[in-house]
Structure 1
Amino acid sequence: MFFESWSDLGRVLAVGVCAYAALILLLRASGKRTLTKMNAFDFVVTIALGSTLATILLNRDVSLAEGVLAMALLVWLQFAITWSSARWAAVHRLVASEPTLLLHDGEFLREAMRRERVNERELRQGLRNHGIEDPGQARCVVLETDGAFSVVRADSR
């Protein structure tokens, strides 16, 4: 249960170094967009890459070559979708959400907040994270596609 064999540990070390190196090479070759936090689709790909790396390391039934091919496939699919999304609006609408205005001139936009499942407490926390105590000090708050709040101060006009 705690230890089975030195060869198992050696396999994890050898395959881990090779799989990690392969992942780094794939990510460098694919460009900066692969691991951005642009939208839910990008997040899912990032999680899938981590899960694939863990499977390569810990599952004897998955060879290094199979695992590297799986990671390469995920990176290639990410590249193909983002490339297509940048060229065709229909693909972009399918994989990316749009930013949502949640507060305007100090007024909470309750319907938008309800649609995005953001409550007032979370929005006020987002304001405080940007150094704003009173919602009236904000011209607007936007829920970005990556889930972050963008805040524009009322005095920034």
Structure 2
Amino acid sequence: MENPLFFDDWAGIGRVLVTGILAYAALIVMLRTSGKRTLSKFNAFDFIITICLGSMLSSIIITRSVPLVEGIVALALLISLQFGITWLSVRFKPVENLIKSEPRLLVHRGVYQEAAMWRERVPVEEIMAALHENGKTDLTADTSVVLETDGSLNVFEAA
């Protein structure tokens, strides 16, 4: 039997509404109890967890083969693992080093740090875009640019 393109039945719509509301409410409760760090913008690890949570939520809502309780348990598991890893990372340096990158200096006092740019795969054009976002048209001898742990570029001027 083929899946209909626009409408299957009212039961399917009702299922989406009920599971959507309940799964969303459960996700909010779990995120509030797990703390602000669960959906922070600190590093790629946190970003990936955020994407996974969204994907899981959509699977719970849309996929008929995923029962609501199993989906909520899966969300709770992922949030618990995220909480555990971040808890360990603030207490043990090796765990922190495993999941968190360090900021990288890409331009120092107007000089491109080409080895760092190559390692981080940041082209000159991205650095120039960051300069333009900060109202600068070109590098000066007092300009430095740092690639932050969240992937953003910060432009600094030496005092």
So what's the TM-score if we normalise by structure 2? 0.94
Deviating beyond 3 angstroms after TM superposition, the runs of 4 or more aligned structure 1 residues are none
Which stretch has the larger CA shift, 65-74 or 145-154? 145-154
Structure 1 residue 3 and structure 2 residue 7: aligned? yes
Which residue of structure 2 aligns with residue 41 of structure 1?
A: 45
How far apart are the structure 2 equivalents of 1:135 and 1:126?
A: 11
Counterpart AA for 1:60: R
Counterpart AA for 1:145: T
Which residue of structure 1 aligns with residue 89 of structure 2?
A: 85
Which stretch has the larger CA shift, 86-95 or 136-145? 136-145
Counterpart AA for 1:54: S
Structure 1: stretches of 5+ with no match in the other structure: none
Q: Which has more helix, going by share of residues?
A: 1
Structure 1 residues 14 and 80, CA gap change in structure 2 (3 angstroms): same
Q: Which one of the candidate residues 141, 144, 155 is aligned to 1:140?
A: 144
Structure 1 residue 119 and structure 2 residue 119: aligned? no
How far apart are the structure 2 equivalents of 1:13 and 1:138?
A: 57
Q: Which one of the candidate residues 53, 56, 65 is aligned to 1:52?
A: 56
Structure 2: stretches of 5+ with no match in the other structure: none
Counterpart AA for 1:41: F
How far apart are the structure 1 equivalents of 2:9 and 2:86?
A: 44
Matching of residues 4-23 of structure 1 within 5 Å: 4-23=8-27
Counterpart AA for 1:78: Q
Deviations 1:32-81 (A, max 9, x none): 11111111110110011000000000111111111111111111101100
So what's the TM-score if we normalise by structure 1? 0.95
Aligned residues: 155
Q: Percent identity?
A: 52
Structure 1 residues 15 and 138, CA gap change in structure 2 (3 angstroms): farther
